[in-house]
Amino acid sequence: MSRTPIFADLDAEDLLTLESFMRRRVCRAHETLFNEGDPGEELFIVESGVLEIFVGLPDGAEMALSRAGAGNFVGEMCLIEKVPRSASCRTLEPSVLLSLRSSDFELFTQNHPVASLRIMNRMLTITVERLLKTGSFLTQIVQFGEDSRKRAITDPATGLFNRRYLEENLPALVNRARTLAQPLALAMFDMDHFGNLNATWGPAMGDRVISEAAQVFRQVFSGSEILVRYGGDEFLFLFPGADSGQTGALCEKLCQAVRQIRIEDRPEVHLTCSLGFAVFPLHAQNPGELMQNADKALYLAKERGRDRAVEFSRDA
């Protein structure tokens, strides 16, 4: 233990006393010591082997932050303040560790205050040095996490939000509308006869049509709307603060714009779309009902001949 940097300032007697509070743990390779979010209650010191500290990303992947070899320590924040783990830790190879629980360190501190201060000073010095060396790396980690989160909630083909974003955020949007006593409109969009277009011209043509449609959406809408690719040729639009009249006008404007789409080298392709919309709280009282009623209105738009926008009605 005397070769461990955080204990370098302790005399032999203090080392022996501290060792009596510690537990030796023999670990297999790839054994998890703690997970992100777990209670922070234990410091680990590596006698032999290698530990990896990593975080989980929104898309399910992992990112390694650092490694700790013999003489290094992880989980030091538990000795300063009891906060949840900010990262996960596992062994990369068979390892032997010493562990010190925060409650045991408190007992050691009561009887050996000077020694405990020496440990804390060494530990803080080493921790600051780590942060200074890895500051730019941590900035990259944060940026990577933000980028990864963006990738997880956007559709790569169009750059619009995806279904996951909708499922995660629609309840909050409805609650916000309720709190502000404002309407929230939801419109469902289908490209008419998209399956026939794919069958006739091939999937590549379908992809071009979707790309062109996404550009039209951005041109028609001002920027306050929330645009979601729900799947295939299905899109969903959210209009915070828009009542049924405003939503109907926007949907009709979009229908007109879709009719004007022209595919380069395929002038014979003519596009139309169908939309159905519902408005909270006029037509629905919760997110599920809002989506369900917009879907019913979309079905009605198709039933009436497509190439139109239809508002939900309980009488229809």
Listed residues 93, 119, 148: the one ending a domain? 148
Sign of CA dihedral 56, 32, 7, 100: positive
Instruction: Please tell me the total count of domains within the chain.
Output: 2
Residue 1 is predicted with a pLDDT of 64
* Average pLDDT rounded to a whole number, residues 221-228: 84
**With contact defined as beta carbons under 8 Å apart, do 118 and 10 qualify?**
yes
- Residues 171 and 196 reside in one and the same domain: yes
Residue 104, in any domain of the structure: yes
- Residues 295 and 199 reside in one and the same domain: yes
- Residues 143 and 229 reside in one and the same domain: no
Domain extent for 299: 161-311
- Residues 141 and 212 reside in one and the same domain: no
Task: Summarize pLDDT for 90-129 with one digit per residue, the tens.
Answer: 999 999 999 988 888 888 888 888 888 888 887 777 766 6
Q: Of the ranges 60-69, 214-223, 238-247, 266-275, which one carries the lowest mean pLDDT score?
A: 60-69
Task: Summarize pLDDT for 130-179 with one digit per residue, the tens.
Answer: 655 444 444 544 454 555 556 677 888 888 888 888 988 899 899 989 99
Residue 49, in any domain of the structure: yes
pLDDT exceeds cutoff 70 at 205: yes
Interatomic CA distance for residues 276 and 188, integer angstroms: 5
Residues 6+ apart with CB under 8 A from 180: none
Q: At 86, is the pLDDT very low, low, confident or very high (cuts 50, 70, 90)?
A: confident
Q: Of the ranges 101-105, 207-211, 221-225, which one carries the lowest mean pLDDT score?
A: 221-225
Exposure string of 244-257, with b = 16+ CB inside 10 Å and e = fewer, is: beebbebbeebbeb
- Residues 114 and 192 reside in one and the same domain: no
Interatomic CA distance for residues 26 and 4, integer angstroms: 18
Residue 25, in any domain of the structure: yes
- Residues 191 and 139 reside in one and the same domain: no
Interatomic CA distance for residues 184 and 164, integer angstroms: 19
Which CATH number characterizes residue 110's domain?
A: 2.60.120.10
pLDDT exceeds cutoff 80 at 4: no
The proportion of the chain whose per-residue pLDDT surpasses 90, expressed as a percent, equals 41
- Residues 293 and 224 reside in one and the same domain: yes
Which CATH number characterizes residue 237's domain?
A: 3.30.70.270
Listed residues 125, 148, 171: the one ending a domain? 148
- Residues 57 and 137 reside in one and the same domain: yes
